[in-house]
Chains A and B, each alone.
Chain A
Amino acid sequence: MSGADGFEVEFVDRSERSARFLVRGLTPALANGVRRAIVADVPTFSIEHLRVVENSSVMFDEMIGLRLGLVPLTTPLDDFELGDTVTIALDVEGPATAYSGDIQTSDDLVRPADDDVPIIQLKENQRLELEAEAVLESGKTHAKQQGGVAVGYRHLQQTVVAGDRDEFEDDDGPQIVRGVIEEGAPEATDDDVAEGDLVLTDSFGNDLRERYPGKEVDVEDIPGAFVFHVESDGSFSVEELVLRAAESIGSRAVELRETVAV
């Protein structure tokens, strides 16, 4: 599936909760397997059951439950197993807004990833008091258990200058590409990139006409090279998310191998 030299990974763009990275040597099957595993197989904690003590807010218990479920909780996967629960409490009295930061948890390792998610705005004499269970489940059970947000990949594309543009030709608008390109014609650009450098299409407004003025440019997919875009909801880092996804596919391969071998 990969060449003798294995995989090559390179980060193009990276911040705390999002990353864009290039992988060379992947088959489409494995690329899609990793993507699917990121979305559906890496579990996160999410609030599942509520015991409402008092809810005199303008929203029904169910609506509060939905909102609480969508709040991302930090998930230390080394310390918990699928199906484990953590008890959570929330008690806010109006006039005030209940934020995710007001959520108390029974385990310091599991807490809201962001403190500033508004749950419900409470007026004078309104109160929300509840206890809840957060459960560790995979994204297959419910979208709120997904650790990845907007996870996807694109083929890495290479630009090749095919010639000069006919200056009397009708203008057929911008030539849009998105993601990352591999520079195949550095001599036709103004900036000092070398051939084979990776360029974010954002840097030239996603329009090849901007980058290669007056040139006719072809775009070709590079086989086996995929640019992943992964964002985390805050449950854990992007790096952990990707590694856990690869591990989840690997562990199933181990299970299959051992079962078949008997």
Chain B
Amino acid sequence: MELLVIDKTDEELRMEVAGEDHTFMNVLKGALLKTDGVAAATYDVNPEQSGGQTEPVLSVRTEDEVDPLDAVESAAERVEQLTDEFADAFRAAADA
């Protein structure tokens, strides 16, 4: 996962997340939207045929003086927590 910040202000972030696709980006976007201080979050992946930018670009806008990079960090932490919880619940059901 290679990160490349395209635009960054106090409340806006545009960042390329190289090597990822919808699998992770959509989960991350979902988590971002549930993160405190995030006003808007989306990502965009262009098809191969479009030429140019084909790696996903994550866009985040925050409010209440939350730094967008901090928001991304806590969203990532949330995804981590969710997948761990899911794995634990699945394991418990599978072993039962």
A–B touch (CB < 8 A): the answer is yes
Q: Which residues of A contact B (CB under 8 A)?
A: 1-2, 6-11, 21, 23, 26-27, 29-30, 32-34, 36-37, 40-41, 239, 242-243, 246-247, 249-250, 252-257, 259-261
By the criterion CB–CB under 8 Å, are A252 and B1 in contact? yes
By the criterion CB–CB under 8 Å, are B84 and A27 in contact? no
Q: Which residues of A contact B72 (CB under 8 A)?
A: 256, 260
By the criterion CB–CB under 8 Å, are A255 and B26 in contact? no
Considering only CB atoms, which chain B residue lies closest to A247 in the complex? B87
Encoded as 1 (CB less than 8 Å from any A CB) or 0, chain B from 29 to 46 comes to 111001000000000000
Considering only CB atoms, which chain B residue lies closest to A39 in the complex? B23
Give the contacting residue for A7; candidates B26, B31, B73, B86; CB below 8 A: B86
Give the dominant DSSP class at A's interface. helix
Encoded as 1 (CB less than 8 Å from any A CB) or 0, chain B from 79 to 96 comes to 110111111011111100
Give the docked Cα–Cα distance between A32 and B21 (Å).
12
Give the docked Cα–Cα distance between A9 and B93 (Å).
6
Give the docked Cα–Cα distance between A37 and B87 (Å).
13
- The total of chain B residues at the interface (CB under 8 A) is 35
Considering only CB atoms, which chain B residue lies closest to A260 in the complex? B73
Q: Which residues of B contact A259 (CB under 8 A)?
A: 1, 3
By the criterion CB–CB under 8 Å, are A249 and B73 in contact? no
Q: Which residues of B contact A256 (CB under 8 A)?
A: 1, 3, 17, 28, 72, 76
Say yes or no: A250-B84 contact (C-beta < 8 A), given A1-B30, A1-B34.
yes
Q: Which residues of A contact B92 (CB under 8 A)?
A: 9
Considering only CB atoms, which chain A residue lies closest to B96 in the complex? A11
By the criterion CB–CB under 8 Å, are B80 and A257 in contact? yes
By the criterion CB–CB under 8 Å, are B78 and A1 in contact? yes
Say yes or no: A249-B1 contact (C-beta < 8 A), given A2-B82, A257-B80.
no
Give the docked Cα–Cα distance between A8 and B83 (Å).
13
By the criterion CB–CB under 8 Å, are B23 and A246 in contact? no
**Would you give the shortest CB distance from A19 to chain B, in whole angstroms?**
9
Considering only CB atoms, which chain B residue lies closest to A33 in the complex? B27
By the criterion CB–CB under 8 Å, are B79 and A6 in contact? no
Give the docked Cα–Cα distance between A246 and B88 (Å).
10
| Residue contacts A-B, CB under 8 angstroms, 14 given | A1-B34, A7-B89, A11-B93, A23-B89, A33-B26, A37-B23, A41-B23, A243-B87, A247-B83, A249-B23, A252-B24, A256-B76, A257-B77, A257-B80
